[in-house]
Amino acid sequence: MPLDAKGLGVSMHTSLCRQEVGSVLKVFEGSDSIVIACTQESALFGELAAQSEKPLIAPLRFVNIREVAGWTQEAKSSGPKIAALLALADMPEAEPVSVVNYESQGRLLIVGPGNQALPWAEKLSDSLDVSVLCTEPSTLPIARNFPIYTGNVTKLEGYLGHFTVDWDLQNPIDPEMCTRCGACVEVCPSGAIDDSFQINLEQCKSHRECVTACASIGAINFDRAERKRNAEFDLIMDLRANPQMRMSQTPQGYFAPGRDPFDQALVVNQLLGLVGEFEKPKYFAYNEKVCAHGRNGKVGCNACIDVCSTGAIHSVFKNGQGTVEVNPNLCMGCGACSSVCPSGAMRYNYPSVSHQGKEIKMLASVFGVESAKLKQSVAPTLLLHNLKAGTQLIDALGRAAHLNSKRVEGLPSFVLPYGIEHIASTGLDLWLGALAYGFGEVILLLTGDEDPAYREALATQSALGNAILAAYGFDARISLIQLDSADDIAVASSAMGKLRQRGALSAICTPASFGLGNQKRETIEAVLEHLQKQAKATLPVEGVALPKSSFLGGLAINKDACTLCMSCVGSCPEGALLDNLDEPKLSFIEKQCVQCGICVQTCPEQALTLSPRLLTVEQRKQKVELNETKPFHCISCGKVFGTSKMVDLMLAKLGTHGAFAGAALDRLKMCGDCRVVDMVNKEL
């Protein structure tokens, strides 16, 4: 690698993991935190660190500069990129998050055809507490070493250590009670019973000799009324061609390898390791106070429920107030819920946006400083990717480019890779924040293992981000590279080649100084204010229309239809709609609106419609009047009890009703108290 030791300000080693390993051992004895700029021998260095007599002052950190920078076609000009990656590796780790616990005692249910499920049960019964649910009959073992059930699964839900399974026992023979004595097989005149100890109902002639033969055991019952069965398990191995759980990310402890013996064997190895106590991070944080899911029995925003591929999020309504609940044991940490959440009520926490913001801000800053030293005015590109699949792809791409630089393109020198737990966990607050920090563009690398809902959500959010940029006069700076699989080196190489040929884009603004916060709306407001100050186009007074997916926007009101009943005010979960205690007046603060649409659904006159748009920061902060009218005074006591428009509407709708005929019509113009008094006086 043509590394510039002087420019990077570090000493270089040519064979640190072999002949120069003594240098590492000497550093281990020091008092500095250590970053090793190579990931290939991380296992070796980790073992040496564990054997060191003096404990390290901080955990050993690794960063790969070889495949992502040192072996690329532009390795000689990758100094700023390498410096930025080294600085990133030396940053403090994210604050730890709370954990979710699992406990598994090894109670395994194997579901599927008996000829596949039973052999695996035999092999695993010595290590796990195995049960089998045969969905297709097969020869049953004579020895009853483990429970065997038959029937069709009607319900299967749960997670590692807590699965519940319901099934229907459809055959007259209950294999759990059957002792495999064979008496029923011998006496059946129709030959409808074989070694599967299940009755072939098409062959059965209803002689019932089998019932008599099994009388002492009671395993055969043609008139069984209760056929439903239920049990709990810690692990599920589903061998059916059409497994019960088909989501892209199944719950931990559930495996559906299909009918391939090799895939089944791989799953068996995993099952053997899932006995005991386990934990995983709690990936999300939820603030129901700002959730726009529902009010007054109306459902507004459903974005997190719709995008969740694991079924971890569900709706909850209590006393008309709608919130969502997340089962942390089912959550697999994709973070898509936080990306699509308009209010920031659902927040990804592993790590937080504030931590990621510090890291990408540092990346942009170091890259800019080092580029300036080389008298280059190049803005870096931020390449977001999954930590596992994305890192493997980038490493493979770098190695392929090194071996065949004429046909394979590695990462350009201006592209900074940034690994995250899951690509779907990022959203507009991070993307626009990166552009505000000085990145020229943000690219999301999708490696093919994402749920289709995640891909759609990311495409929708990126389109919204580019629409916001366009409103300020900037060209599109957020894009996706979508691969079919993490092995798709050719497509990845082609994408990198196009980037290199095009060259780096300039930054759209001077770098911002603020930090990204964990409150999504506040972060986006800060970014919008920064972009607006340096916009190439002035927003018109009426604003710029945004896609329907926008969480930024206002309300259009039909003043003729609106009666100022204030139902919308009571339904707004974000406090964007306001009433006035002194006079009938409806006000609106656009900054607070998340375009959830609850007010639109609540309005009895259908007078409201959402208006996704982008106004100036100043306009969005202002309280504006949507509608006002004159108050209506009771014709008897003079007290205000409604609006003129509301009373007029009431008169028009109820004026022809018999109860308000003649002089009684005036009661509609009275407050509730005076109306009762008038009715009593007239009766007297």
What are the C-alpha distances in Å from 265 to residues 113, 129, 253, 380, 465? 16, 18, 15, 45, 45
Quote the CA–CA distance of 372 and 352 in Å, as a whole number.
31
Instruction: Check residue 304 and give its pLDDT.
Output: 96
pLDDT mean over 615-644: 88
**Residue 271, SS3?**
helix
Nearest to 386 by CA among 494, 483, 502: 483
Q: What are the tens digits of pLDDT across the range 427-440? A: 999 999 999 999 99
The count of C-alpha atoms lying within 13 angstroms of the C-alpha of 463, restricted to the half-sphere facing its C-beta, is 12
pLDDT mean over 533-555: 96
CB atoms within 10 A of CB 4: 16
| pLDDT > 80? residue 271 | yes
Quote the CA–CA distance of 345 and 324 in Å, as a whole number.
10
On the 0-12 / 13-18 / 19+ scale of CB atoms within 10 A, 438 is buried
Beta strands 321-326 and 313-318 are antiparallel
The count of C-alpha atoms lying within 13 angstroms of the C-alpha of 473, restricted to the half-sphere facing its C-beta, is 12
The count of C-alpha atoms lying within 13 angstroms of the C-alpha of 75, restricted to the half-sphere facing its C-beta, is 18
Instruction: Check residue 376 and give its pLDDT.
Output: 83
CB 239 within 8 A of CB 112: yes
Q: What are the tens digits of pLDDT across the range 556-615? A: 999 989 988 899 999 999 999 999 877 888 999 999 999 999 999 999 999 999 999 999
Instruction: Check residue 273 and give its pLDDT.
Output: 96
Rg (CA), the chain: 34
Residue tagged 């916001």 (tokens): 468
Counting every residue, how long is the chain?
684
Helix axes 21-28, 42-51, angle to 10 degrees: 40
Instruction: Check residue 649 and give its pLDDT.
Output: 75
CB 133 within 8 A of CB 170: no
Quote the CA–CA distance of 364 and 439 in Å, as a whole number.
6
SS (H, E, C) 525-582: HHHHHHHHHCCCCCCCCCCEECCCCCCCEEEEECCCCCCCCCHHHHHCCCCCEECCCC
Beta strands 381-386 and 415-420 are parallel
What's the distance, Cα to Cα, between the start and end of the chain in Å?
105
Whether residue 119 has a cis bond before it, omega within 30° of 0: no
| pLDDT > 70? residue 684 | no
DSSP letters, 397-461, are HHHHHHH-TTT-----TTEEEEEES-GGG--HHHHHHHHHTT-SEEEEEE-S-S-HHHHHHHHHH
- Structural domains of the chain, ranges and CATH numbers in brackets: 11-62 (no CATH), 73-94+352-538 (no CATH), 102-279 (3.50.50), 282-348 (3.30.70.20), 544-628 (3.30.70.3270), 633-683 (no CATH)
| pLDDT > 90? residue 536 | yes
Q: What are the tens digits of pLDDT across the range 277-288? A: 999 999 999 999
Return phi, psi of residue 120, to 5°. Answer: -65, -35
Residue 366's pLDDT band (boundaries 50, 70, 90)? Answer: very high
| pLDDT > 70? residue 488 | yes
Instruction: Check residue 665 and give its pLDDT.
Output: 81
Quote the CA–CA distance of 678 and 656 in Å, as a whole number.
20
| pLDDT > 80? residue 157 | yes
pLDDT mean over 227-248: 93
Buried b (16+ CB within 10 A) or exposed e, 127-139: ebbbbbbbbebbe
Instruction: Check residue 658 and give its pLDDT.
Output: 67
DSSP state of 199: B
Nearest to 528 by CA among 613, 597, 628: 613
Tokens found for residue 292: 């726009």
Q: What are the tens digits of pLDDT across the range 636-682? A: 898 877 777 777 777 777 777 766 777 778 888 888 888 888 888 87
DSSP state of 288: G
Q: What are the tens digits of pLDDT across the range 75-110? A: 889 999 999 999 999 999 999 999 999 999 999 999
Instruction: Check residue 3 and give its pLDDT.
Output: 84
CB 294 within 8 A of CB 323: yes
Instruction: Work out the mean pLDDT of the chain and round it to a whole number.
Output: 92
Output the CA angle 523-438-96, nearest 5 degrees: 50
pLDDT mean over 265-275: 96
Residue tagged 């507009």 (tokens): 428
The count of C-alpha atoms lying within 13 angstroms of the C-alpha of 342, restricted to the half-sphere facing its C-beta, is 24
Residue tagged 């060209």 (tokens): 475
Of 10 and 459, the one with more pLDDT: 459
Nearest to 179 by CA among 207, 213, 156: 213
Of 565 and 466, the one with more pLDDT: 466
| pLDDT > 70? residue 187 | yes
CB 545 within 8 A of CB 553: no
Of 583 and 269, the one with more pLDDT: 269
Residue tagged 């006002």 (tokens): 628
pLDDT mean over 327-346: 95
